[in-house]
């Protein structure tokens, strides 16, 4: 478990599949994320119940608010390579009433700190749709820098959007 100032990051429980399924089926939550194909709630419950435990290559945590113990989102370090010390970061807040209040920033700082201090990572990378201004702002605020632009790789509402590739090196976390 990792603590921030506003949140703690902790393993997910199988009983929390309903919240994850609800978030993945909310168009506003999924606006700038790959949402894949819809699945029945029973499949989502089974997938979470059968998910292997966290490992160096794939660490998934729920974001829980310290003040009220409410699960509000997810954060994940995935595709981690021990040979290079590099990992990819995914994050989202599913509970919209917590948006814009510092919870995502706090969760990202806690997860990146965990990645650099406990996992001994050298670099954490991510992709963000260029139109996702709120997420882009948070990433830059904690130290991520733009390293490239992938042209027209994200489709939403019949339009193609670019994505930034961003990276954070060990020692750059703010």
* Tens-digit pLDDT profile for residues 8-24: 999 999 999 999 999 99
One DSSP character per residue, 11-76 reads PPPGGGHHHHHHHHT-TTTTTTS-------HHHHHHHHHHPPPPBTTEEEEEEEETTT--EEEEEE
Q: How far apart are the first and last CA of the chain?
A: 21
Looking at residue 1, its pLDDT comes to 80
Q: Quick one: pLDDT at residue 85?
A: 97
Mean pLDDT of 41-51: 94
Q: What's the confidence (pLDDT) of residue 133?
A: 97
Note the pTM of the prediction, 2 decimals: 0.94
């Amino acid at each position: 478990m990792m603590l921030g100032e506003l949140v703690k990051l902790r393993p997910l429980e199988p009983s929390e599949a309903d919240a994850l399924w609800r978030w993945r089926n909310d168009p506003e939550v999924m606006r700038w994320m790959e949402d894949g194909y819809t699945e029945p709630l029973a499949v989502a419950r089974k997938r979470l119940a059968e998910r292997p435990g966290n490992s160096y290559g794939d660490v998934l945590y729920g974001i829980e608010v310290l003040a009220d113990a409410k699960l509000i989102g997810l954060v994940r370090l995935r595709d981690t390579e021990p040979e290079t010390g590099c990992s990819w970061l995914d994050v989202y807040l599913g509970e919209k009433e917590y948006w814009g209040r510092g919870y995502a920033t706090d969760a990202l700082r806690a997860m990146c700190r965990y990645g650099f201090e406990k996992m001994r990572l050298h670099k954490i990378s991510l992709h963000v749709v260029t139109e996702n201004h709120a997420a882009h702002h948070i990433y830059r605020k904690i130290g991520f820098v733009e390293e490239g632009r992938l042209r027209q790789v994200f489709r939403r509402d019949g339009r193609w959007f670019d994505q930034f590739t961003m990276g954070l090196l060990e020692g750059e976390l703010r």
